Amino acid sequence: MSDDSLIREAARVLRGSQRLVILTGAGVSKESGIPTFRDALEGLWENYDAQQLATPDAFRRNPRFVWDWYQHRREMMAEARPNPGHEAIAALQNHLPQAVVVTQNIDGLHQMAGSQDVIELHGSLRRNKCFDNCQGNPTLINIHTLAWNPATDDGPPPCPHCGGWVRPDVVWFHETLPPGALERAHLLCAAADVVLVIGTSGVVQPAANLPFVAARRNATIIEVNPELSQITAIARYYLPGPSGEIMPQVLAAMTDGE
Ligand code: APR
């Protein structure tokens, strides 16, 4: 099937979907210039492995070092804006209001592009919480309302409730996913008739299992990725290319003649 006919066929399937789940990974933010966390290991952190830094133990051992690495990533992310792929996904949700975005990304770009219902499996770098979740899980803290000054007070700010450390509201290695997020994503994929998988290598569990949960119940899997992934084998339609180019074409094919 030619790429054009693939796009049209995928658009037809998406237009007819009743319970669509859109699962995204780091690839959907690539064209927004978001570095993967492996890309962010430069400067002070260049000799570290992400799995050494993105863990509760690393934070306990050296909270300032881990906090500063996340501040560095925030600075790298600060200029990032949604790309045409995020925008097409948000527009697709407007056409299919029941469609839910399930993302592994922590950059908040889906919401910035206008996506309403987004499940963030790995949290968000735009939020912070008390390391001890002293008021419940999660105890979110708005660091901009604290007396703490990032310019002078190095390291994590103190929790205003318990005085403990504040940390990024992201999922670290050896941590469970946010309460309810994976359960809801799993339920949605078990009930989905179509799952659109965009920009994920399909390697990191438990997110990588979600398309298989849907495929086992005869859902149609559509994948957008410039490379083959662990998901491609179960994709009924594999659209090769960057999501910033492919997704606007899919949206246009979906809305042609509307
Ligand atoms: N459009 C779509 N997909 C793309 C693009 C693009 N422009 N560029 C790259 N990709 C694809 C790559 O081919 C790859 O399959 O995006 C995928 C990115 O894979 P990973 O970097 O493994 O990201 P992801 O699958 O989201 O898993 C990352 O693991 O790094 C941890 O917790 C972190 O959530 C993160 C997860």
Give pTM, 2 decimals. Answer: 0.94
Question: Please, where in the chain does CATH 3.30.1600.10 lie?
Answer: 35-79+125-170
Q: Does ligand 1 have an atom closer than 6 angstroms to the CB of 84?
A: no
pLDDT at 1 over 80: no
Question: How far is ligand 1, taken at its centre, from the CA of residue 153, in Å?
Answer: 34
Instruction: Tell the residue nearest (CA) to atom 26 of ligand 1.
Output: 25
Q: State the pLDDT at residue 152.
A: 78
Of residues 125, 91, 112, 110, the one with CA closest to residue 23? 110
Nearest atom of ligand 1 to the alpha carbon of 200 = 25
Active site residues: 122
Residue 258 has pLDDT above 90, yes or no: no
pLDDT at 163 over 60: yes
Contacts of 166 (CB under 8 A, 6+ apart): 128, 129, 130, 131, 141, 143, 146, 156, 157, 158, 159
CATH 3.40.50.1220 domain span(s) along the chain: 1-33+81-122+177-258
Cβ of 108 less than 6 Å from ligand 1: no
The pLDDT-based confidence of 118 (bands split at 50, 70, 90) is very high
Pocket lining: 242 vs ligand 1, CB cutoff 6 Å: yes
Of the options 3.20.20.60, 3.30.420.40, 3.90.1150.10, 3.30.1600.10, the CATH number for the domain spanning 35-79+125-170? 3.30.1600.10
Q: Is 27 in the pocket of ligand 1 (CB under 6 A)?
A: yes
Ligand 1 mean position, distance from CA 29 (Å) = 8
Question: Among 51, 200, 230, 243, which is best to mutate for testing ligand 1, by the most ligand atoms less than 8 A from CB?
Answer: 200
Domain 1-33+81-122+177-258 annotated CATH 1.10.167.10: no
The per-residue pLDDT for range 52-85, each reduced to its tens digit, is: 889 999 999 999 999 999 998 899 889 999 999 9
In the predicted model, what is the mean pLDDT of residues 227-239? 97
Residues ≥6 apart with Cβ < 8 Å to 205: none
Residue nearest to atom 6 of ligand 1 (CA): 242
**What's the pLDDT band for 37 if we cut at 50, 70, 90?**
low
Residue 73 near ligand 1, beta carbon < 6 Å: no
